């Protein structure tokens, strides 16, 4: 099993969720996040005063999947989240040793 974590632009969430559902992935966790990468923030003007925004709002998606779904999920997220502009995000993939569904006690892939 794999854990796929994707850091994305917030406005891409609905498109990614729909694309993942079409690809057969039905569970994901979404968290609000702030951060920066190469863009290192930007400058905005509010009521005539210029100020720097160091941390850019992002969303963090976490999806636990079977190993055979990995290529499809990564490609789906990558293709859907890509705008071609700086700040599109990143995808991280990690191994998952064990999953347990609390309600039923199911373990492993049956608990996903």
pLDDT tens-digit readout, 69-105: 999 999 999 999 999 988 899 999 999 999 999 999 9
Q: Tell me the CA distances in angstroms from 42 to 38, 45, 52, 60, one per residue in order.
A: 11, 10, 6, 20
Residue 57's Cβ-side half-sphere holds a number of Cα atoms within 13 Å equal to 5
pLDDT in tens, 5-58: 999 999 999 999 999 999 999 899 999 998 877 766 666 666 777 767 778 889
C-alpha span between 100 and 110 (Å, rounded): 9
- Please, what are the domains in the chain? 2-111 (3.30.70.120)
Q: Are 35 and 56 in contact (CB under 8 A)?
A: yes
C-alpha span between 110 and 18 (Å, rounded): 23
């Amino acid at each position: 099993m794999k854990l796929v974590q994707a850091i994305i632009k917030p406005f891409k969430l609905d498109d990614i969720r729909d694309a993942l559902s079409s690809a057969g992935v039905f569970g994901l966790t979404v968290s609000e996040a702030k951060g920066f990468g190469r863009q290192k923030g930007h400058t905005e003007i509010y009521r005539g005063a210029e100020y720097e925004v160091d941390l850019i709002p992002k969303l963090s998606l976490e999806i636990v999947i079977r190993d055979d779904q990995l290529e499809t999920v990564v490609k789906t997220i990558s293709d859907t989240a890509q705008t071609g502009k700086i700040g599109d995000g990143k995808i991280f993939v990690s191994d998952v040793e064990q999953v347990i569904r609390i309600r039923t006690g199911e373990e492993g892939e049956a608990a996903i």
